[in-house]
Chain A
Amino acid sequence: MLRFVLRRLALLVPVLVGLSILLFAWVRALPGDPARSLLGERATPEGIARVNESYGFDQPLVQQYITYVTALLHGDFGSSIQTGQPVMDSFGERFPATLELGFVALMIAVVVGVPLGYLAARHQGRVLDTAVVSGSLLGVVTPVFFLAILLKLVFADKLGWLPTALRQDPRVDATHVTYFYVLDGLLTREWDASWDAIIHLVLPALALATIPLAIIVRITRASVAEVMNEDFVRTAEAKGLSRSTISRRHVLRNALLPVVTTIGLQAGLLFSGAVLTETVFAFNGIGQYLFEAIGQRDYPVLQGFIIFIAIVYSLINLTVDLAYGVIDPRVRTQ
């Protein structure tokens, strides 16, 4: 087991090294002049020259690379051009928001998706099956930012049932410990703060949930269908076990396995969706931060994030593989 983990971690290293080199080359290949980006309309030739000198933009490429790598090894992932704040600090401040959002979205998708998938498998090939599959697919093919705008227009603007923006009402007094606002409210017993955070989560999470929903529905459907045809189910039936016992014990457990497997993939998709959704609701997670960074061409931010995401993503996949390895011993021998 330990060897498995170590081997996987070792494989991570060349990937990250290669990525950092690629990213360095990438930032330098980008169009646009970082000094001019920094100064905007106020740029003058002298001003630009001063910035270049001060920040080392005019140094030879090799020199810049050395500076970059040294900083990376010290844990300095760069600072935003716009605000000067270290990328990792910004990330740390906003990550809980997106994590909270993603978690809720995934929960919604599982709670709604697994039963729907089961239904579809039971009525495979018939109209209900097509309806469920098409319905969940419709959620995913609708661009998530479009869906977010629609949800906001209907439920927040026109009907006024839910708030239109932000993570929390500015007037609610909330103490933040973990920066997971719902959790913080519960920890500090500020129930109204917790509730306020929940209602601000509803619409963005619903929009985001449509992404994993389709996958979960279809995975559940596929694996339920597969298991239901397996010999051991028929044998159990022949032995007289009631059908409800069979399903609960065997079918669902086997069906949930692939859902767990794809959580790594889902995390990546949820993250991409968050970049497009958070801005609509001014949700202030890393999704929105990245969206702004792309728009403002704040490349150090993107660069730092990509490396960090690569690490997180790889670790998630590793964890999932480990979990799968625990559950299914066949995998471990690879």
Chain B
Amino acid sequence: MLFRRPSTRFATIGLAVAALVLSGCAQSQRDEGSSDGGGTFVFAGSAEPVTFDPFFASDGETFRPARQIFEGLVGTKPGTADPAPALAKDWQVSDDGLTYTFDLQDGVTFHDGTDFNADAVCFNFDRWYNMPESAQTDDLTYYYGALFRGFATGDRADAAIYDSCTADDELTATIKLKKPFAGFIAALSLPALSMQSPTALKKYQDDSASNPRTTEYSTSHPTGTGPFEFESFERGKQVTLARYDDYWGEPAKVDKAVIVAIEDPKARADALRSGEIDGFDLVGPADVGPLEDEGFTIVNRDAFNVLYLGMNQAVKPLDDIKVRQAIAYALNKEEIISASMAPETQPAIEFIPEIVNGFTSDVPKYDYDPEKAKQLLKEAGADGATIEFNYPTGVSRPYMPQPEDTFNVIRTQLEAVGLNIKPVADQWDPDYLEKIQGTKDHGIHLLGWTGDYNDTDNFLGVFFGAKTNEWGFENDKIFGDLDKARAIPTPEEQEPLYEDINREVMEYLPGVPLGHPVPSLAFDSSVKGFQQSPVQDEPWNTISLEQ
């Protein structure tokens, strides 16, 4: 022995350290405040926000804090996608759909003390319209560009539908459009079109910066009218929001709200179980049941999306309607759903979810009938035909939580009716979208869409408004009807035409809608008062933490 065994010395030290570690309780203490309210609500999303000026964003994680800090003229009725008064308590629309007059809420202030009034409204609308060309790209201003069709300058200036905003008096603002836009009111509930404080914008924001998402305003001074104000953002750690005591509506019950980012859904579930967070979004389908059994609260959002099996008619034999029908009849949607989606998911019968304007159950249906599928294939001479089946890997979307599993089930069902399936897997980024939407090089494929706001054109128009590489067909009746519907001034008047279009689409069958996957949230049982919204309009002022 050269000296006292180093192993024993280190072992003793090691044991002592281990004992210290374990005795220091790792279970996080929930900060539950007193029974009068208070406390800190900790929520986990899947990624960090990219900016705090919601005008320059279009992703759900960036909108999450935005929903707490900002509000728009229009909100939604709790639990639905229907427009409801928010900062505008009432509005009138002219018959031609070109003039909108808003009566504004009284006594509202921005977080920096600025009054909210008609001048502030017009400041915001004009700001958006006058965005410099450097800010007019879709990655920065997708929503404004898509909804208002253009800006004051740039290559789309002629198509822009915004005309002007006038402050008639302190609490009345009139917006004039150049062309009718039936979805205008619903669109104003988008966080991108929230009302922001003119004072703060003038002081801190620079729309012509090379990256407007990382300016001083966008990273540390977002100023809205919402129930929470921005306190701090530590990148890589958390967003901290504090209750705004002068909120004009129902004040928040908790003192602070913290948002952290945990990318893996399973890790989010584990963090909830160990008490480190109070709730999280995007529960994996495999975690829903177990979390509920363990006593956590699962909240299902009403589905506002659709998952479909697209069929590229540029490729034979998919251009034959009989083949497309055969594929539809071959699918057992219940089995697809139970194998790869959350339990509450409803099978889809058309390309829009139930709560969207123009939904009707009076559409051609294709209930599971493998015998019929086989027969149709024989009639079309496509029995045993080889079809490429494209699906993405390395991704999970709210409308498509587990594409590999969905793919497997569908493949088995299609092979059971005699089709020869050639699987083509591609990484979501960079290849899949490029292949499906950028080229003609695909057969049947899985994709979907989550709606942004309650406008049917936001679904059907996006899919079938014009010829695309994804669907590969030209159907002037459908294209024309969608154009017509878009031009109708109000949603009520649009409804019958959209119902017709839904019927036409399901008759023509460019693809098979599969389901409307239900995105879920999970909460600790101490969290009360959370209100879900299909369009994620979920301010947390109603939440309280009970002991």
Interface residues of A (CB under 8 A from B): 30-33, 36-44, 47, 50-51, 54-55, 79, 82-86, 90, 93-94, 97, 111-112, 114-116, 118-119, 122, 152, 156-157, 160-171, 176, 195, 198-199, 202, 243-244, 246-248, 251, 279-282, 284-285, 288-289, 292, 295-297
Contacts and interface: CB of A to CB of B under 8 A. Distances in A.
A248 B29 CA distance: 47
B136 A115 contact: no
A42 B142 contact: yes
A170 B260 contact: yes
B267 A162 contact: no
Contact of B267 (A82, A165, A199, A297): A165
Interface string B125-147: 00000000110111100100110
B434 A33 contact: yes
Nearest to A96: B236
Contact of A170 (B27, B211, B277): B277
B267 A171 contact: no
Given A160-B274, A163-B26, A244-B2, A40 B430 contact: no
A199 B26 CA distance: 7
A171 B26 contact: no
Contacts of B58: 42
Nearest to A282: B262
Nearest to A80: B50
Nearest to A118: B6
A284 B394 contact: no
B27 A166 contact: no
B3 A248 contact: yes
A163 B134 CA distance: 45
Contact of B238 (A82, A94, A170): A170
Given A36-B430, A37-B429, A295-B394, A84 B274 contact: no
Contact of A279 (B24, B27, B133, B264): B264
Q: Which of B133, B214, B276 has the most CB of A within 10 A?
A: B276
Contacts of B138: 39, 42-44, 47, 50-51
Contacts of B214: 84-86
Which 8 pairs between the two chains have the least Cβ-Cβ distance? Answer: A32-B430, A47-B138, A115-B6, A244-B3, A247-B2, A284-B236, A164-B270, A282-B262
A223 B279 CA distance: 53
Nearest to A202: B21
A165 B270 contact: yes
B267 A164 contact: yes
B437 interface: yes
Interface string B355-390: 000000000000000000000000000000000000
A43 B430 contact: no
A54 B3 contact: no
B271 interface: yes
A47 B277 CA distance: 38
Given A36-B433, A84-B214, A115-B10, A282 B273 contact: no
A155 to B, nearest CB: 9
B394 A164 contact: no
B276 A170 contact: yes
B42 interface: yes
Contacts of A163: 26, 28, 274, 276
Contacts of A247: 2-3
A280 B266 CA distance: 10
Contacts of B213: 83-84
Contacts of A42: 58, 138, 142, 146
Contact of B270 (A115, A118, A152): A152
A145 to B, nearest CB: 12
A93 B274 contact: no
Contacts of B276: 163-166, 169-170
A171 B277 CA distance: 9
A33 B429 CA distance: 9
29 contacts: A38-B139, A40-B433, A41-B447, A42-B142, A44-B138, A54-B133, A83-B213, A84-B50, A97-B236, A114-B6, A119-B7, A152-B270, A157-B273, A157-B274, A160-B26, A161-B21, A163-B28, A166-B260, A168-B237, A170-B237, A176-B234, A243-B1, A247-B3, A279-B263, A281-B267, A282-B263, A284-B261, A292-B263, A296-B429
Interface in B189-223: 211, 213-214
Nearest to B469: A45
Given A39-B142, A163-B28, A199-B24, 17 more contacts: A30-B430, A31-B431, A32-B430, A32-B431, A44-B138, A47-B142, A83-B48, A90-B235, A93-B235, A115-B10, A157-B270, A160-B27, A165-B271, A166-B276, A171-B30, A246-B2, A282-B264
Interface in B19-34: 21-22, 24, 26-31
Nearest to B219: A85
Nearest to A157: B270
B332 to A, nearest CB: 27
A105 to B, nearest CB: 15
Contacts of A279: 263-264
A33 B50 contact: no
B438 interface: yes
B40 interface: yes
| Chain B CB within 10 Å, residue with most, of A119, A152, A161 | A161
A32 B434 contact: yes
Contacts of B24: 195, 199
Contacts of A156: 26, 270, 274
A192 B26 CA distance: 12
B434 A36 contact: yes
A199 B274 contact: no
Interface string B166-193: 0000000000000000000000000000
B207 to A, nearest CB: 14
Contacts of B234: 176
Contact of B437 (A43, A50, A84, A112): A43
A199 B28 CA distance: 11
A83 B434 contact: no
A36 B438 contact: yes
Nearest to B273: A157
Nearest to A52: B137
Contacts of A97: 236
B463 to A, nearest CB: 11
B22 A161 contact: yes
Interface in B240-276: 258, 260-264, 267, 270-271, 273-274, 276
Contacts of B3: 244, 247-248
B258 A84 contact: no
A84 B211 contact: yes
Given A42-B138, A165-B271, A166-B276, A171 B10 contact: no
Contacts of A248: 3
B449 interface: yes
Given A116-B7, A165-B270, A54 B433 contact: no
Which of A31, A97, A112, A115 has most B Cβ within 10 Å? A115
A38 B14 CA distance: 49
Nearest to A30: B430
A55 to B, nearest CB: 8
Given A79-B211, A284-B236, A164 B271 contact: yes
